[in-house]
A and B are shown apart, each in its own frame.
Chain A
């Protein structure tokens, strides 16, 4: 079946199988930033933003994004122009193995789009949809806070602020 949707700002038409998950479809089209950690919607490594809301793409069928807007890590920033959340993850050492990092950044983006001035608790609540086994969530939570400041314009995005 054919689906039409907006992916990272571009209109696309993909042929997908009826039972194909959005995760499978994205990876089949080389969107490798979307990771498979459990296939059951529990770990958040496959998170993408659908119409502004974070969604686990492993428990959505690809056809469900027909006519909708999807944002993946690839659409948030790129090596030449990092998004402030990506820059903060880089500067603070918030990515260790990096497997859950795209999911965390996507989740953080969805949070900051809705709540530009989050409390530490709101950040932890949002990040709790992504499982990480490397960082203890300490530096990711700090990075989201720093990115929020940069996005509001009252941070300097200073490299290695320590």
Chain B
């Protein structure tokens, strides 16, 4: 049956409050007696705290609590919000005797006003013993390198003596054999920088004790349930004594898949017995939040003269910074997804994630894939060039398709072995065809013009996953109300992408009502059932599956009651426009069914709950195309047009799906061209602000075209798979490939800045006799 509501551009259920400024974010809330907290950042990249004296701060009028490492128990944990047990080392404590990056947390203060809290910080007297700092990830494993984690009580660090937070190795086939069979072997080293998620709302939380003395934390998080579990561990409270409420979140993109404030804010509330608000400034967001893992990627590829891959070997050194949250799993994904896109009999992947005394890496949309695809998709273009093939043709000759297995995904799960994966929906060849047509590939390719503005087009193919197979679980609860409306409660965490709306659509589709009849309440650990949280492109695929199941269970209960009211067979009844209808036209409204079940006979609440998980992880596919103009005089790259053709299975809400792609592309273009956190010789970030860290503005954006190529994924709710992350993977390689088309120069390092372009043009100049 053709869906009524799914596939339509239903407006967001929270849209009216967002466009009127009544969104109800964490900070849009005041509690009488609320204190303001600030934390003291380390000025050193690496130092031991010899002495800390907070007595002057404590004596300041208006200061209600001060915490240093002397005041809190030492309980190692990971800030990464992941399923339990987390595949990340327990290498953090609430407050430590040692600091490991500039901005590391030294102490915390809660006071009557922000100004008093700031003043109190300045009164904390700390004597540091500066230690030699480690800034170069490629030297981190050397025997004489400074040891970032020399403490003995941490667990899960792969090898602390070599600064190795995590290490990954996986192989399919035998690469030596594969390289022996190759006609051509290409080996390149790619470098990708520190970039940041940059949610417009900086991290913030407000904690308080409720009337029963339970700790309530209202917080801008992607992972309420992981946050509750981790905070319970850190503060030594039972999980049941903590409630996490996620109100509207002003963007996360992975930065809020971390517990960065909730622990210390909760500790201050327990200490002061008062509500406490703790927020990051934008500068702190840049210096103390999380980044994408910078990587040095060595990629060696063997290919026959027909352009068929024979072997692929990728070796990665990733810089996880001072702490190792997500170090293992991000590096797993760099190998498992980009190295699965093309069929290759022999594949080897090895990654070392090393500690340094720089900014801390973590989860960021794409989760290791943008790094890997920059290497793989640049390399495919260079192979095509060497073999005199069209870049699209070499991809077509190797790409996976319907019915193919993904052997790398099987040997390389997230932090452990994966599960067998077979592709049951794939629109990649249609994506390539439609995307190439939209960018004008055959007309524009290889026609740079004569300058000074040179033109080029470039392509990249991508896949991602849908949730972490065998790990992620989401659940949903529905009950009916007197008027035939429904409450839907999900632990899932809408960050703005619109999952609450899609869940209302799914419920409405199943029960024959309009989405307005569904009251969605999400992400409150007291009132909604468990959910893994918003990450890994999982929410619609996993929690959407749970919502579909629970709506069907509710439907069965309604039909049973209606069957009695109408004296008709249950199997003949259908939902239609708020009623249950029999083939002869007899009908009863959902309100009548609800009222009958509440008040009349065999009274009960029509309600149900359901959970969903999956061992399948169906990849969405995409082809992305960039058209660029490069100014040979200034080195500036302007992206003129950007096309994404994406197969995300059945599209449940087209504008929301397009919005995911458009936002991801904007972030990916920043990765390609403008974004990079830069550090001085002492490890301090020199551009922790929007003036010097350049994210794309409306004026910088190219003409955008997003093409939704529908397929039907049999394992997904109504045929859907994910769309949240995939769009960020392709802009960097597509732009680099387009720049190559324009200049004939290949850039192996991001971002591709005017300085790098001018330098490369200058180095080439003698051959071209440019004066």
Contact = CB atoms under 8 A, between A and B. Distances in A.
B701 A138 contact: yes
Interface stretch (A31-39, A59-67, A148-156): A31-39
Interface stretch (B71-79, B494-502, B589-597): B494-502
Given A98-B250, A134-B496, A37 B663 contact: no
Contact of A40 (B20, B689, B698): B689
B666 A73 contact: no
B631 to A, nearest CB: 19
A102 B12 contact: no
Nearest to A92: B655
B690 to A, nearest CB: 4
B695 A33 contact: no
Interface string B12-26: 101111111111110
B12 A99 contact: no
B707 to A, nearest CB: 13
Nearest to A134: B663
Contacts, number: 199
Given A39-B281, A90-B16, A124-B699, A99 B251 contact: yes
Contacts of B15: 89-90, 93, 95
B201 A136 contact: no
Contact of A73 (B20, B28, B202, B281): B20
Contacts of B18: 95, 98, 101
A104 B406 CA distance: 44
A123 B27 CA distance: 30
A13 B187 CA distance: 70
B200 A33 contact: no
Contacts of B22: 32-33, 79
B29 to A, nearest CB: 8
Contacts of A124: 698-699, 701
B666 A136 contact: yes
B253 interface: yes
A99 B25 contact: yes
Contacts of A51: none
A96 B496 contact: yes
A137 B16 contact: no
Nearest to B697: A128
Interface string A126-143: 111011111111111100
A97 B14 CA distance: 10
A117 interface: no
Nearest to A159: B11
Given A39-B281, A139-B659, A34 B17 contact: no
A160 B9 contact: yes
A7 interface: no
Given A39-B281, A96-B659, A133-B200, A90 B12 contact: yes
B19 A133 contact: no
A33 B22 CA distance: 6
B249 A97 contact: yes
A143 to B, nearest CB: 9
B200 A162 contact: no
Given A45-B200, A97-B495, A124-B701, A34 B21 contact: yes
Contacts of B665: 136
Contacts of B691: 40, 42
A132 B19 CA distance: 14
Given A97-B199, A136-B704, A162-B654, A86 B20 contact: yes
A111 to B, nearest CB: 12
Given A99-B23, A131-B200, A125 B701 contact: no
Contacts of B641: none
A89 B701 CA distance: 19
Contact of B659 (A39, A93, A125): A93
A77 interface: yes
A135 B496 CA distance: 10
Nearest to A17: B115
A132 to B, nearest CB: 7
A119 interface: no
Which of A78, A92, A137, A159 has the most CB atoms of chain B within a 10 A radius of its CB?
A137
B198 interface: yes
Nearest to B701: A137
Given A39-B281, A91-B11, A160-B8, A79 B250 contact: no
B57 to A, nearest CB: 22
A139 B656 CA distance: 10
A82 B282 contact: no
A16 to B, nearest CB: 15
B248 interface: yes
A79 B23 CA distance: 11
Contacts of A30: 30
A111 B661 CA distance: 27
Given A40-B690, A99-B201, A133-B251, A160 B11 contact: yes
Contact of B20 (A33, A35, A162): A33
Interface in B252-279: 253
Nearest to A123: B698
A79 B656 contact: no
B662 interface: yes
B485 interface: no
A136 B663 contact: yes
A80 to B, nearest CB: 10
Interface in B609-627: none
Interface in B695-724: 695-701, 704, 706
A38 B21 contact: no
Which of A73, A89, A98, A99 has the most CB atoms of chain B within a 10 A radius of its CB?
A98
Nearest to B196: A133
CB-based closest 8 A-B pairs: A33-B21, A97-B496, A99-B250, A98-B18, A93-B655, A136-B662, A73-B21, A42-B690
26 contacts: A32-B21, A32-B24, A33-B23, A35-B201, A37-B200, A38-B282, A39-B282, A73-B20, A93-B12, A95-B18, A96-B659, A97-B200, A99-B201, A99-B251, A99-B496, A101-B19, A124-B699, A126-B698, A128-B697, A128-B700, A131-B697, A133-B253, A134-B251, A136-B664, A138-B662, A138-B701
Given A40-B282, A93-B498, A125-B698, 9 more contacts: A93-B12, A93-B15, A99-B201, A99-B496, A101-B21, A128-B698, A136-B666, A137-B696, A138-B659
Interface of B: 8-12, 14-25, 27-28, 30, 197-202, 248-251, 253, 281-282, 495-498, 654-656, 658-659, 662-667, 689-691, 695-701, 704, 706
